[in-house]
């Protein structure tokens, strides 16, 4: 089963989904809506947390992002991301793949001085993972000035937190999915 890249240079190209991994792929229409909200991503550095197939990072690269970093802990997902990158012939200078849990990778990214213009997070639903991930992004200085964090979460999962460096800009509902976009404020 595959998904399509929605726009940009890889538009209409198929990407594979991890086989046997329990992931919930973002529907094409939701991904398209997110990128319509984001607008031009040319030259941006993006971080794709809980990357799964790598769809968000690959879509961003297709639309002109400078570089994408994929963070994933599942070996089947990592293999799929590598295969998708290879099938699209994306140059090695355009991406990094980091194996590990988000909670252990974020401090390492901060220590290395990495800053991202857009952070995509699409964790498993119902486990407060989106909320906890936002708190971690808030705690680690990895979001660039005026950067955006795009959180996909279950519509009933509250993301209400006392974030110090980010504010919610907009929230859009797509069926059972809610997409909340945060902007760095300090």
CATH number, domain containing residue 53: 3.40.50.150
For the chain, what is the domain count?
A: 1
pLDDT band at residue 1 using 50, 70 and 90 as cut-offs: low
* Residue-range definition of the domain harbouring residue 42: 2-184
* Whole-number CA gyration radius for the chain: 15
Helix H or strand E segment including 143? strand 143-154
SS3 assignment, position 182: strand
Q: Does pTM top 0.75 for this prediction?
A: yes
The more confident residue out of 158 and 120 is: 120
pLDDT band at residue 157 using 50, 70 and 90 as cut-offs: confident
Render pLDDT for 169-185 as a digit per residue (tens, 0 to 9).
Answer: 999 998 888 999 999 99
Instruction: Decide: 53 and 18 in contact? Cβ < 8 Å.
Output: yes
């Amino acid at each position: 089963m595959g998904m399509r890249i929605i726009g940009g240079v890889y538009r209409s190209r198929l990407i594979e989904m991890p086989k046997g991994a329990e992931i919930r792929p973002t529907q094409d229409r939701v991904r398209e809506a997110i990128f319509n909200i984001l607008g031009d991503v040319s030259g941006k550095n993006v971080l794709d947390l809980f990357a799964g197939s790598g769809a968000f990072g690959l879509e961003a690269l297709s639309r002109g992002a400078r570089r994408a970093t994929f963070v994933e802990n599942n070996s089947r997902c990592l293999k799929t991301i590598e295969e998708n990158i290879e099938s699209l012939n994306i140059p090695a200078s355009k991406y990094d793949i980091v194996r590990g849990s988000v909670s252990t990778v974020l401090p390492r990214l901060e220590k290395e001085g990495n800053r991202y213009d857009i952070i995509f997070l699409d964790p498993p639903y119902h486990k407060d993972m989106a909320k906890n991930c936002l708190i971690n992004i808030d705690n680690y200085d990895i979001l660039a000035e005026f950067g955006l964090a795009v959180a996909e979460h279950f519509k009933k999962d509250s993301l209400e937190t006392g974030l110090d460096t980010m504010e919610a800009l907009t929230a859009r509902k797509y069926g059972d999915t809610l997409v909340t976009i945060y902007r760095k404020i300090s």
